[in-house]
Amino acid sequence: MRLVHYRDLTEIAVRNIMPVGDVDMAKTAEDVRERLLLAGMHGTSYLAKPHFCGMLTEWLYPGDSIAVMPDQHIKINHSLKASIAGGTQAAARLEYMKDKGRVGRLVHAGMAAKGLIVEEHVKSWFKLMWPGNYNDPPNSNSFRSPCAYDFSMMFGGTELTIDVAGYGLSGSMNVENKMPVDLRVIASLDESRNAVFAESWVHGSKPTQNAAQWRRMPMASLCFWFNCLRDGVSINDLRLSQHRA
C-alpha cells in the first residue's frame, strides 16, 4: 500500500512465481507497464513521470459503501501485551464509564474490556506501522478524563484525530454522544480466529446517530494515504500524474 516503481513491482511479482534468472526482467517489466498498468487491467493504474509507479486505482479513489468485503479487512494478530493493556484500561476506567445499555455491572465490565482490548490492538498496529507519527491521546494516563479520540497521527505538523468504533451486544455500533473526530476506524474481535480486524474507515467530522448508514472505505486506501503523508507525497499530484487508459 505504497508507491513502488513498476520495475520493482514486476520483480516482486516474478519472484513469487519463478526464479528471476529465468526471466528477461527488462522486457517483462515493460510488458507489465504497457499491457497491465497503462491498460488499467485488474483495477490497476500507472503513475507517469516522476513516479513511474504501479498501484491499485482504488487507493487514489476509494469508493464508499455500506459494507466493505471481509477480504479487504486488515488482520491484527492477538497480542497479549495489547490485551493486558486493554483489560487494565477497562478496570481503571469502568467506574467513570456510562452503562449505555443498562445491562448490569458484570456485563458492562465485559463489554468495556472487549472494546478496550480491540482499541489497544488497533492502536498498537498503527503505532507499529507509523511509529514516528503516532501519538497517544491526552487522557492516556488520566482515567477520569474523557477524550473524543483514541489516538492521533501527526503528519507534517497536521494532527489527525482517530476514534476506534466497535460493536455492542446487539451487533450494532453505539454512536450515541460521539464527538467529531477526523476519522473513525471500524474494528471487531473475532474470537474464533484469535484476532482483531480493522474492517474499514469513515470520515468522522460529522458523526451520524445511525452507524448502519456510514459510508465505509477500505483500509488499504487509508494506509496508502498515510504512507503518502509520511513520505511528503501529495495525493492530488498523484491523481494528476495518473495515466488514463
pLDDT digits (tens, 9 = 90+) for 182-200: 999 999 999 888 999 999 9
- Is the domain of 180 the same as that of 103? yes
Domain count, the chain: 2
Residue 141, pLDDT score: 79
> With pLDDT > 90 as the criterion, what percentage of the chain qualifies?
32
Contact indicator for 116, 90 with CB cutoff of 8 Å: yes
- Is the domain of 99 the same as that of 14? no
- Residue 151: pLDDT over 90: yes
Burial of 203 (0-12, 13-18, 19+ CB in 10 A): middle
d(CA 106, CA 31): 62
- Residue 64: pLDDT over 70: no
- Residue 68: pLDDT over 80: no
- Is the domain of 159 the same as that of 102? yes
Residue 53, pLDDT score: 87
- Residue 105: pLDDT over 80: no
- Is the domain of 36 the same as that of 104? no
- Residue 31: pLDDT over 80: yes
Higher pLDDT, residue 15 or 134 = 134
Highest mean pLDDT among 112-116, 182-186, 200-204 belongs to: 182-186
Contact indicator for 44, 55 with CB cutoff of 8 Å: yes
- Is the domain of 74 the same as that of 105? yes
d(CA 150, CA 23): 49
Question: What are the grid coordinates assigned to 106, written together?
Answer: 458484570
- Is the domain of 27 the same as that of 90? no
- Is the domain of 109 the same as that of 25? no
C-beta pairs of 105-108 under 8 Å, 24+ apart in sequence: 107/169
Whether cis (ω within 30° of 0) applies to the bond prior to 137 is no
- Is the domain of 10 the same as that of 124? no
Provide the CB-side half-sphere exposure for 187 (13 A, CA).
29
For the full predicted model, state whether its pTM sits above 0.85: no
- Is the domain of 49 the same as that of 108? no
227 found inside a domain: no
138 found inside a domain: yes
- In this prediction, residues 33-60 reach a mean pLDDT of 85
Q: Strand order of the sheet with strand 53-56?
A: 4-5, 53-56, 44-47, 242-243
- Which one-letter DSSP state was computed for residue 97? S
- At residue 152, φ and ψ (nearest 5 deg) are -140, 160
Domain that holds residue 181: 70-217
Structure confidence at residue 245 as a pLDDT band (50, 70, 90): very low
Higher pLDDT, residue 44 or 103 = 44
SS3 233: coil
- Is the domain of 122 the same as that of 179? yes
